[in-house]
Structure 1
Amino acid sequence: MTETEPNAVPKLEIRPLSDAPDTREQLAELLVHTVAGGGSVGFMHPLTREAASAFWDGTLAAAARGERIILGSWDGPSLTGTVTLILHMPPNQPHRAEIAKMMTHPRWRGQGVATALLRAAEALAAERGRTLLVLDTASDGGAAGLYERAGYTFAGELPGYALKPHGGLTGTRLYWKRIGEGAA
């Protein structure tokens, strides 16, 4: 940030994550904060650090096997957000991938981190010959606006799909987007 740009966001580095102790620790912290804040990412509150670490251990192992790519957004040594691109699909679906576990650190929300991560995931999917991306987001408090602004098409809503982290049911909204060669 410079004196002439008081509201400028620092340039973030987005890169695929690998299993390093500091990375795993920051991912676990981000997951715990997301769930505590009501983010519907598959876990209930309170989420222990150990459970969050165990989740990332398995997810990072899947990334090491090439089944997914976990992208992280960094401001220097600090993780500002993450998204997962799931590549491992059934044999009849080699053309698609799934966007999952989009999370932005609370201090960085509203500053373009999620959009940058989403665009990077789309580019990686297209590089791997994927032409269709799918995702879901909670109906209550989810990121529907983000996905719609990014060009995803609303496909429908499943009512009462999952429990919210602090209790009570929420639906899930399903989205899709054509990318790469399939975008035309």
Structure 2
Amino acid sequence: MQSAATLSIERVDAIEAQGLLPELAGLLHACVHDGASIGFILPFGMEESARFWQEKIFPAIGSGGRILLVARQGGRLAGSVQLVVDTPPNQPHRAEASKLLVAPACRRQGVGRGLMSALEGQARSLGRSLITLDTRTGDKAEPLYAALGFSVAGIVPDYCRDPFLDRLDATTIMYKRLRTEA
């Protein structure tokens, strides 16, 4: 296992992301199959994972509506996160954290924390003073977000379908105010 000390995080553009498609599709696929509630349910194949990146995420990165950060440990893709900056005209101060993915073998090694810290840096550099996110209530990531200073705005019952079971799960809406440098 690699240590968090070898962690590197970088922002990738749409062209670079296209070159990472096999790794990104594999990361998403592994996370969904490990139980992550990130918008997909089983069965979920590699083709569907690749299609998600190609059709939904790469165009948004190319248009400037999303920022993609990737984490590597020992040269291998360990995680990714997205910052949604395509906000309405009355919300230029806000961004949304989306799809924090950490490879199951890389969890509890600082990858998620590193990605979220880098995401906050990107938001600050764009003058964003508020980050919002949602996470399945009780999910593994919820304590991480709380430890990073995110506050709970509320819980929405029956928000999404469980990836494995035929049941509806609640989601926790969270936010964090960022201090911006004057």
The TM-score normalised by the length of structure 1 is 0.90
Deviations 1:80-139 (A, max 9, x none): 001100000011111100001001001100001000000000000000000000001001
Gaps of 5+ in 1: 2-6
**CA distance in structure 2 between the aligned counterparts of 1:140 and 1:37, rounded to whole angstroms:** 15
Which residue of the partner structure matches residue 172 of structure 2? 173
Deviations 1:131-179 (A, max 9, x none): 0000010014241100000000111100111001112211000100111
Aligned equivalents of 1:137, 1:153: Cα separation in 2: 12
**1:39 and 2:36 are equivalent in the alignment:** yes
Tell me which of 70, 93, 96 is aligned to 1:95. 93
Identity %: 36
TM (norm. structure 2) is 0.91
| Alignment partner of 1:13 out of 4, 8, 33 | 8
- The one of 145, 148, 152 equivalent to 1:147 is 145
CA distance in 2, matches of 1:9, 1:148: 20
**Range with greater deviation from structure 2 (80-89 or 68-77):** 68-77
Aligned equivalent of 2:25, options 17, 23, 28: 28
80, 83, 104: which one pairs with 1:82? Answer: 80
- Unpaired runs of 5+ residues, structure 2, are none
Q: Which whole-Å CA distance do the structure 1 matches of 2:4 and 2:174 have between them? A: 28
Q: How far apart, CA to CA, are the structure 2 residues paired with 1:83 and 1:111?
A: 16
Q: CA RMSD in A?
A: 1.9
Structure 1 ranges of 4+ moved more than 4 A? none
Q: How many residues align?
A: 178
Amino acid in the other structure paired with 1:175? M
Distance in 2 (CA, whole Å) between partners of 1:10 and 1:72 is: 16
